[in-house]
C-alpha cells in the first residue's frame, strides 16, 4: 500500500495512505469528516472511465493514515496536501473537496496558489466561515460546536450514529437512495478513526476561509444539496459560490449532505461536465481550424 511521510511524532513517522489510479489529467479527491478516501467509491470509477488519473488519500487521523495527536487544523492539513502533490509531481490537477475537504482546497489555494492546480470543486463544503460573529451573522452559534464536542467526549460512537443519520437524511432517503448497510459501513470507518483527531477537527471547522476563497482565480464548481442538514446550503454553498468570482453552481434538489453517494449520478455528471468543458472547447477549436 502506498504511503507518504508528512511528519514525525516522537519515534514514529506520520504517514498518509493514498491511492493513485489511471492516467490522464489528475483529479485529487479529498474526503469529509469522519470518513476516509474510500467514501469516493461512486466517483472513482466514473472518473477513471472518463480517462482521468484519480488520487484519493486519507486525512491524518482517519482511514489507513497515521493517527498523531496534533495537526488537525487547516494550515497543517493543507501542508499535508502540498506534500502529496509534490511527491506525485502533479500539475494541471483538479482538487475536489467534500465537506471538511473543501477547507483543504480553499486553504491550499490560499497558501500555495494554483501552480499545480487548474480547477477546483467544492462539494457540500464547509466553506466559507461557519462560526457566527458580529460580522458573520450567517454563521452558527459557537454553543452548537461546544455541544458537538461534549457529545463526542461523552459517547463518540453514539454521536457518530446520530450524525450519520442526518448526513444522509436517512429518515427520508433510507431504503431509497441510501441503505442501512452504507450507513453502517460509514460508521465502521468513523468509529475506527482517531478519537483525538475526531474531536480536534471540530475546532478546525470554525476556520475563516473567506480570504482564501476570494483569492481563487481558477475555474471553480460548487455542488450542494438544498436539503443538507449538516452544512445548510444558504450558509455554505451559496456563500462559497458568491465569494469565488465566476464560479459555477449546481444545486441538487432534495440532496442531503452525503450527495456523493445519494445523488452520485447528478454529482458525477456535474463533475465530468465541469472537468471536460475545457477539453470539449479545445476539440471544437480544432474542428474549426
Q: Any idea which residues carry the catalytic annotation?
A: 99, 228, 257
End-to-end CA distance of the chain: 46
Output the nine-digit C-alpha cell for 151. Answer: 457529545
- Please, which contacts does 268-271 make with residues 24 or more away whose CB atoms are closer than 8 Å? 268/42, 268/43, 268/46, 270/221, 270/223, 271/43, 271/46, 271/47, 271/96, 271/121, 271/221, 271/223
Phi, psi of 273 (to 5 degrees): -65, -45
**Rounded distance between C-alpha atoms, residue 211 and residue 214, angstroms:** 5
248, with CB counted inside 10 A (0-12, 13-18, 19+), is middle
Say which DSSP state 103 is in: H
Q: What is the dihedral of CA 226, 229, 232, 233, to 10 degrees?
A: -20
**Rounded distance between C-alpha atoms, residue 93 and residue 119, angstroms:** 7
Output the nine-digit C-alpha cell for 68. Answer: 498523531
**Rounded distance between C-alpha atoms, residue 18 and residue 124, angstroms:** 22
**Rounded distance between C-alpha atoms, residue 207 and residue 124, angstroms:** 16
130-to-9, 136, 230, 257 alpha-carbon distances in Å: 30, 9, 11, 15
Amino acid at each position: 500500500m502506498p504511503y507518504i511521510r508528512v511528519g514525525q511524532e516522537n519515534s514514529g513517522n506520520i504517514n498518509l495512505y493514498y491511492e493513485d489510479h489511471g492516467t490522464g489529467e489528475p483529479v485529487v479527491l479529498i474526503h469529509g469528516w469522519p470518513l476516509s478516501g474510500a467514501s469516493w467509491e461512486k466517483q472513482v470509477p466514473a472518473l477513471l472511465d472518463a480517462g482521468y488519473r484519480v488520487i484519493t488519500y486519507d486525512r491524518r487521523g482517519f482511514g489507513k493514515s497515521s493517527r498523531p495527536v496534533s495537526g488537525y487544523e487547516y494550515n497543517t492539513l493543507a501542508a499535508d496536501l502540498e506534500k502529496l502533490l509534490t511527491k506525485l509531481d502533479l500539475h494541471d490537477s483538479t482538487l475536489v473537496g467534500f465537506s471538511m475537504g473543501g477547507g483543504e482546497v480553499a486553504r491550499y489555494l490560499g497558501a500555495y496558489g494554483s501552480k499545480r492546480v487548474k480547477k477546483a470543486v467544492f462539494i457540500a463544503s464547509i466553506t466559507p466561515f461557519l462560526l457566527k460573529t458580529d460580522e458573520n451573522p450567517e454563521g452558527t452559534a459557537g454553543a452548537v460546536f461546544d455541544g458537538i464536542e461534549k457529545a463526542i467526549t461523552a459517547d463518540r460512537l453514539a454521536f457518530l450514529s446520530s450524525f450519520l443519520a442526518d448526513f444522509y437524511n436517512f429518515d427520508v432517503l433510507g431504503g431509497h437512495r441510501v441503505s442501512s448497510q452504507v450507513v453502517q459501513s460509514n460508521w465502521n470507518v468513523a468509529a475506527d478513526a482517531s478519537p483525538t483527531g475526531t474531536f480536534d477537527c471540530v475546532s478546525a471547522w470554525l476556520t475563516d476561509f473567506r480570504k482564501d476563497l476570494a483569492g481563487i482565480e481558477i475555474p471553480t464548481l460548487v455542488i450542494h444539496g438544498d436539503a443538507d442538514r449538516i452544512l445548510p446550503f444558504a450558509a455554505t454553498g451559496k456563500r462559497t459560490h458568491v465569494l469565488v468570482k465566476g464560479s459555477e453552481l449546481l444545486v441538487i434538489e432534495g440532496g442531503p449532505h452525503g450527495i456523493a453517494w445519494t445523488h452520485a449520478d447528478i454529482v458525477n455528471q456535474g463533475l465530468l461536465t465541469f472537468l471536460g468543458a475545457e477539453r470539449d472547447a479545445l476539440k471544437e477549436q480544432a474542428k474549426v481550424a
